[in-house]
Amino acid sequence: MHGLIPVDVRAFQTGVGEMKIGRVMGIALVGACMAVGGAVADEMSEATFTLPQEVVCAATAFEHYMSSAARIDSRFADGESVARSLKAAAAYQPAQLEEGMIAYGAIAALQDDRFVAGVEQAAGRGEQRAAFAERLIEDPLAATRIDGADEAARRIEAALAAKAAPLVSSATDVKAAAYSVQHQSWSKVMVANPQVRLSDLKSLAMVRAAPSDDENRAMMEAVADMNPGADSAQTPAGFTAIEARSLALAAESVLGHATGPERDRLSPLLSEADSAECFKMAKLNLYQCMAVAGPQYEDIFCMGQHAMMDTGHCVADAGHDVGAANARLASLSPRATDSRASYIPMAAHRSLRVDPN
């Protein structure tokens, strides 16, 4: 491995709705997630790969929600603080969160040199390369048989665990607060306009987040700094369906088949039935809980259990099997807010080029 080499961040447009991933320290971005138009500009350094702009934006939305919800303070002082926290805990669209989780894992996998080389070796040349790309869409598990997939999967697992653990830990504190605040008179007051409150929460699940260039850049820099950590020598106990899709998406990027116009073609890799159902049920259980909640402390319980805990478990389980996920979560300190603390910088960083269509 070579030492870290600083590279200036460059922004440019290609007009094809994609981000380019390269072996550089910088992150090259163009246009916010909702931008339109743009002209072709110079290429970056060699060994660069692309992902659709919308997909990278989903990864940023995933990272932002998980981090923001994990920072919810369980020391509630009044109904207003509960209402604000509820909005933060419920502020994600399930489909975008799942897509972002998979893309987040793919970006982590692309930091693994052996996996990238394995993709090139497995794909072959010419028509074989295109056929291999199509096989990954039809059978994402094919990506788990690529040389280096074990190491790349550890990066995915570490990246998702680093987001899930703080959220689950904060959820535990919030649930505990639902009981501890009951000695305070305000917590027993019935919530005003409960139907409006519930409607407002449901509306949050209908809106896809549109991160800015700076937010995309910060997300990618954080992922590039991650490392599997002390358990990197351990062999994963198989691959989850989400890990397989993250690996397949990363492989599509290496093969040059993850450009902006190919976003729809990549759709089978951006969702998985069990994972999608998990996020859907987390929302449904939240709404059902809120529909029957009365006093403020019951809102706190609904928030901690369903908006936060259920969602955190969906992400933890997606990163590996339930037993392994629970073991990881138990080993991390409560309410950790800096998920990067246990990671060391990697020598090979890849940046992402955003194209505005």
C-alpha of 74 from chain center: 24
Q: Using CA atoms, how far apart are residues 57 and 66, in angstroms rounded to an integer?
A: 14
* DSSP character at residue 239: -
Q: CA-CA distances (angstroms) from residue 81 to 75, 158, 202, 300, 328?
A: 9, 32, 19, 10, 31
For residue 67, tell me if it sits in a domain: yes
- Tell me 193's DSSP state: S
| Predicted local distance difference test score (pLDDT) of residue 107 | 95
For residue 229, give its domain range: 53-347
Count of CB atoms situated within 10 Å of the CB of 52: 28
Number of domains forming the structure of the chain: 1
Per-residue confidence (pLDDT) for residue 312, from 0 to 100: 96
246 C-beta neighbours (distance < 10 Å), count: 35
3-class DSSP state of 266: coil
Place of tokens 């190491």: 151
On whether residue 32 sits in a domain, the answer given is no
Query: Residue 351's pLDDT is what?
Result: 46
As a whole number of angstroms, the distance between CA 159 and CA 157 comes to 6
Q: H helices of 31-148, where? A: 53-70, 79-90, 94-109, 113-123, 127-138
Beta strands in the chain (DSSP E): 18-23, 48-52, 350-351
Q: Which two tokens stand for residue 98?
A: 């799942």
Please report the pLDDT score of residue 319 as a whole number: 84
pLDDT in tens, the chain (357 residues): 322 222 222 233 344 566 665 443 333 333 446 433 322 223 334 457 789 999 999 999 999 999 999 999 999 999 999 999 999 999 999 999 999 999 999 999 999 999 999 999 999 888 899 999 999 999 999 999 999 999 999 999 999 999 999 999 999 999 999 999 999 999 999 998 889 999 999 999 999 999 988 898 889 888 988 776 645 445 556 899 999 999 999 999 999 999 999 999 999 999 999 999 999 999 999 999 999 999 999 999 999 999 999 999 999 999 874 443 443 333 332 223 333 222 222 233 444 444 434
In a domain, 255, yes or no: yes
Asked if residue 184 is part of any domain, the answer here is yes
Dihedral of the alpha carbons of 274, 152, 331, 272, in degrees to the nearest 10: -10
Burial status of residue 332 (CB atoms within 10 A of its CB: 0-12, 13-18, 19 or more):
middle
Q: What pLDDT does residue 112 have? A: 93
Which three-class secondary structure state does DSSP give residue 8?
Answer: coil
- Asked whether residue 279 is domain-assigned, the answer is yes
